[in-house]
Structure 1
């Protein structure tokens, strides 16, 4: 089996991956997250004007966290800008049965405990089955907004987290234990939508902002 890797310089670029310009909402490529984890309640920040709760949502508004105007796309292709990520990950097979199973098996993560039972979710994995480690996955799911923020705030130990005015972002960047590449794990919650991005050896500066733009 062949191993897909990038050079050390490119691999380190994943430190910007999906979480860029946390508190500022910038789409620039920062070498590391700018947010810091806070155990305090979020400070008051206005939500997007005109936001309306979904019929299935059980929202208790949290200033700066709850903006319930999101919509989970019907396809993985509709989750990202067409052509923008072809050289990074979108050129790899999407949800190959040998990678995700048939039917698709969605691994448990920190969104699992706060999912809405009747909520929609979309799971997308881009990975060449021949690759040892290189991959990227995005999970977007309907979550219970009364629980999601508090759960992520306490469950994501060792992550860099911040409020960005509308949602809550958390990211952890580590060295892969087996290969000389970088791994990234990013969570985002806003209203009753949760986003989880996992990647290895796949630089994607600004990806989370692109996903957010297609969901909200």
Structure 2
């Protein structure tokens, strides 16, 4: 931001394609990343760094604190990208993870699931509601898991699927909790938990 302000009169010297693309990235970054922005960082960092480089190269100046901040941002950015890339390559492909859960979630049942569950699994179930459906109706309380369980029961859902690694939610109970109102833990592997309705 400091560089954009200090070098604002030189922005016109930056290649047009980089300017337009950077502006598009900044706008889309602001629109789609209200939280969890680190997930999208590998897409944006190379162009941010190119823009910073072009602005500095156009009219280079000696400013030791700025250089230290830029180096620090570079280190943090590279570390963050490597961490995300490593996480993506070290975890099982998400659709495969959900496919492995098929033997613990009966077909044709209704459930509350993470939004990512809809990929490849949607047609196997009678009705699925995403976590966002519950968030839309939820009121922030000290007992979010209980509120979620009552809401799921009112909506006649047969199971609740939770992903503690990829999609942790504020309404998830403590990992491995044996029961919720109307629901009992039937599967937990350290990442996924499946609660089924009690008859």
TM-score by length of 1: 0.24
Larger radius of gyration, structure 1 or 2?
Answer: 2
Give the structure, 1 or 2, with the largest relative contact order (CA under 8 Å, sep 6 or more).
1
